[in-house]
Chain A
Amino acid sequence: MARGLGRINKMDPDELKMLKTRIDVATAIMVALIAILVVRLWHLQIRKGTEYAQQSENNRTRIQYIAAPRGNVLDRNGEIIIANRPLFNVVWIREDSPSPDEVLKQLAKILRLDISVLLDRIRAGADHPRYLPTRLKENIDWETLIAIENNAYRLPGVQVEVVPSRDYRYGEMASHLMGYLGEINQQELDASKGGVYMPGDLIGKGGIEKQFDRYLRGEKGQSFVEVDVRGFVQKRLKSLEAVPGNDLQLSVDINLQKAAEEAMTDKAGAVVAMEVNTGRVLAISSLPALPLHEFSGGIPGEVWQRLLNDVKTPLINKPVQGQYPPGSTYKIVTALAGLSEKVITPDTTFFCSGSINFGNRTYGCWKKGGHGSISLHRALTESCDVYFYQVGQKLGPDALAHYATSLGLGLKTGIAMEHEKAGIIPTKAWKLNRFREPWQDGETFSIAIGQGFDLVTPLQLCRLTAALANGGTLYRPQFIAAVKDSTGAFVSQFKPIIDGTSLGSPKTMALIRDGLAGAVNEPHGTASAAKMQDIIVAGKTGTAQVVRMAQYKATSPSKVPYLYQDHAWFTCFAPFDKPQIAVTVLVEHGGHGGSAAAPVAKAVLTKYFEMHPPTPPPQAEPTAAPLATP
């Protein structure tokens, strides 16, 4: 050490200088490296800072969505038809369950389920993070809910999740109109723009719920939360309230709807009731109803198959999707065309012997014995086929089609319902195009009485009837009276839409209305089943042949198999002198219009006039045809 110490004092000045130089170099290197750090810091915090700040925000913030209460659906009087109702689901959070076996055993007992059912559910969600809830049972009832709450201390990790759902106050009434909700699928997600929907959302799958989903759904609220690296919420940052969906007030009167559907009990078909001067739909019914209660949470395959195979075709929304030959109701069109084209006058008579020969075929009248000498009024009243065969034959298919189309047949009505059908009103060109065959004159006979190629929907026929009643205006059928937001303010309100005016002078129409009044009110009328005490109803029956096979010709109607029985039509308006309401009834395979369909219309009318008693009080002599033409 002495040696070492001795050297200290003798530090070579040259060496000292050299070392000092090296320290200077070291200082320079340090400063340079520090400068690199400072530049890097500047790069990260100043130059790219905003970018990193955004990434840090994305790291820590999550958006939780708050479901918006869906709008209610009300009838024209404010009666709630569809409202919201919470649905209670049992969920399980594995992370919070220290002894899962015991908990699940207890839970299975409360839910009255086999534990294997629960285990299957858990296995299906096994790849979920442990802190996310797994759904074990949907839609538990009150007793189960209370049982779970009471046993909460024995069920750690088990929670009850509250999910909004729909409450159909009138069950399956107007089921096709109302529609239903279901979880959104990928296609619907792809189709939606602007991120309105998210996976797991409920969306309207049919009816009003689908067509007016944009009003009903409201806007989700958003809650911005701060989460830590494990996703646990640390605090709420800000939130945007959910905007409740708009309420839909329908023009439909639930009482009329009920009357219609009760009158149609056990029948298949359609009922449409409409205000003749506005196009507002008062009732629109398709039967059999959809079993909406089986649709929540997706339609099970076997239910779908059962509905698909049902001969009464409940999956078809018959007022707009059902296409039927109009039968004798079409005589309104033939009469209007005949008078307007002047191939007949009100006084033109034909002789009905019960049938007419044309070419080498015989065309029968429904009345085998014949109507004898018959003119327009009685032909409508008693629905003489032979009379209209001849009118049709004089007009030809194209003239008939011209008038039919002006009355809205063969055209979609534009009602806000899915998959509306246009029906068929044939012309010569149509047949050539469709079948590559020229028109046969005999076919004119068929279409003149609404058979053959003619196909209409019940809604079209109702609109036609309304147009006849109001003097020729074709209103678009609408069933929304108003859209209101949650404060009750109008978002939009009903406005009548006129889609066209039918051909035919007011006088011509009056003649036809007379004939229809006669059909209901005169002794030999075909529609006396619709006759009312105080109100003059004007209507037309129709019996549309489905397939009349030779083997059933002689069979009595009750022995004919269901699918081969005729469709029964009745379309009418009332009151005769100041029409307010048009009602059209179709009973599928119901037989005769007068017997099967007219009573249904009468039930609807009765209910309607019970609620809207006509003023002034009815005339003393309602049975007399008041506007009989000279």
Chain B
Amino acid sequence: MFRFDRRLLQNVDWVLVGGVLLVTVMALLNLYSSTRLNDTVGLSAFFKQLYFNLMGFGLILLIVMVDYKALIAMSYPLYILGLLMLVAAMAFGQTVAGSQRWIDLGFFRLQPSEPAKLITIIVLASYYYRKDTGKGFTLGELFTPIVLTLIPFALILKQPDLGTALIILVIFASMTLFVKLRWSTFAVLTGTALGALPVAWKMLKPYQRQRIAIFLNPESDPLGSGYHITQSKIAVGSGLKFGKGYLHGTQGQLDFLPERHTDFAFSVWAEEWGFFGSLIFMACYFFVLLWGLNIAVTARDKFGMLLAFGIVALLFWQAFINMAMIMGLLPVVGVPLPLFSYGGSSLLTNLACIGLLLNIRMRRFMVAA
């Protein structure tokens, strides 16, 4: 199982590798611009991210060595490990800005909710792959995946991290819709989800509700919570056609833009590179994701297909929500832009996703051993 077939090398997907490298270079350029004048983070963030990138590339190498099918067997142990980390974060985690999200590993503060997303994809893909009868899933057959989803969802929601928790749900929805469902199952699930909305609203923390209210009317509170949206829209809008120039974005450089190296990193890019620069970035970025769908289509087997699809769904939904958020189309929910926002856990998880895509791609013509 751990033997590495030389033929695999011929099948390395250089298009995906090239696309990811391009996005990584843009991310690092942007991170340099957004952190070099920041007193609290400073340039150390830039170098940290650089190291995480190198670590991530190493991780990709490790991942592509092993046939992704091995994950089917590893899915439950991984899942248990993921849940343990989430529980650990809750029990001993560091509280930052009101949320317990991090486990301090000494050299690195791990945010377990990030790998938890990928682990959820793996466990769902494994389950759907194993249980698929080809006749469409019944509600009863969906009980296990629903429970598998709700446990990490609840743990992450409890941190509280609404954005990431929602991503878990969105992944579940995307993957479940991808496999064959019975119409009745679909109807019941949709009905339940809609029925749960008012309950969910009640369960939101006041600041979370406020964020949604402010999203609907950002001018109601321009200096309070609406500040993020307002300043981000100003940053993006003031980029005009060609941007203010690299390192010359005033909203970012002068601190008007909050969270500008994490969730609002793309605002910095849009401000400095303008409409056309942003289009170039989006073209590269979404090309990688659409290419990921192509990897799913051409996958050797249904597991590969499910896994690739889940990964693309994870990356795409986060990207969409993040960009829609910084452009004022969605409320501020704290979802990073994968491969672009600063953050070690997120970057390593996302590079692992890329590693899995490469893995699936490389083995598309291979007959299972």
Chain A residues close to B by CB (< 8 Å): 1, 4-5, 7-9, 11-12, 15, 18-20, 22-23, 26-27, 30-31, 33-34, 36-38, 40-42, 44-46, 48-53, 55-57, 59-60, 226-230, 234
Contact = CB atoms under 8 A, between A and B. Distances in A.
B352 interface: no
Determine chain A's interface SS by DSSP, over half rule: helix
A228 B73 contact: no
B48 interface: no
A50 to B, nearest CB: 8
A48 B251 CA distance: 17
Contact of B236 (A9, A18, A41, A234): A41
B112 interface: no
A41 B327 contact: yes
B238 A53 contact: yes
Interface string B291-310: 00100110011110100010
A30 B289 contact: yes
Interface in B221-277: 231, 233-241, 250-251, 254-256, 270-271, 274-275
Contacts of B191: none
Contacts of B289: 30
Nearest to A30: B316
B368 interface: yes
Contact of B130 (A4, A37, A51): A4
Contact of B72 (A4, A37, A229): A4
B219 to A, nearest CB: 12
A30 B293 contact: yes
A19 B178 contact: yes
Contact of B296 (A23, A38, A49): A23
Interface size for chain B: under 10, 10 to 19, 20 to 34, or 35 or more residues? 35 or more
B250 A229 contact: no
B134 interface: yes
Contacts of A31: 290
Given A12-B134, A15-B134, A19-B302, A49 B238 contact: yes
A51 B72 contact: no
Interface stretch (B23-31, B93-101, B102-110, B278-286): B278-286
Interface string B317-333: 00010011001110000
Given A38-B279, A44-B327, A234-B254, A26 B293 contact: yes
Nearest to B305: A19
B211 interface: no
Contacts of B130: 4
Nearest to B300: A8
Interface of B: 69, 72-73, 129-130, 134, 174, 177-178, 180, 231, 233-241, 250-251, 254-256, 270-271, 274-275, 278-279, 282, 286, 289-290, 293, 296-297, 300-303, 305, 309, 312-313, 316, 320, 323-324, 327-329, 367-368
Contact of B275 (A8, A45, A59): A45
Contact of B69 (A5, A33, A44, A49): A5
A51 B324 CA distance: 20
B256 A55 contact: no
Given A15-B134, A38-B279, A45 B240 contact: yes
Contacts of B303: 4, 8
A226 B251 CA distance: 11
Contact of A52 (B236, B255, B290, B302): B236
Contact of A23 (B231, B240, B282, B297): B297
Contacts of A229: 254-256
Contacts of A38: 279, 282
Given A30-B316, A34-B286, A59-B256, A9 B367 contact: yes
Contacts of A226: 250, 254
A56 B180 contact: no
Which among A9, A18, A22, A36 has the highest number of chain B CB atoms within 10 Å?
Answer: A22
Contacts of B240: 45-46, 49-50, 53
B256 A41 contact: no
Nearest to A60: B250
Contacts of B302: 7-8, 11, 15, 19
Contact of A5 (B254, B327, B368): B368
A228 B234 contact: no
Contacts of B234: 52, 55-56, 59
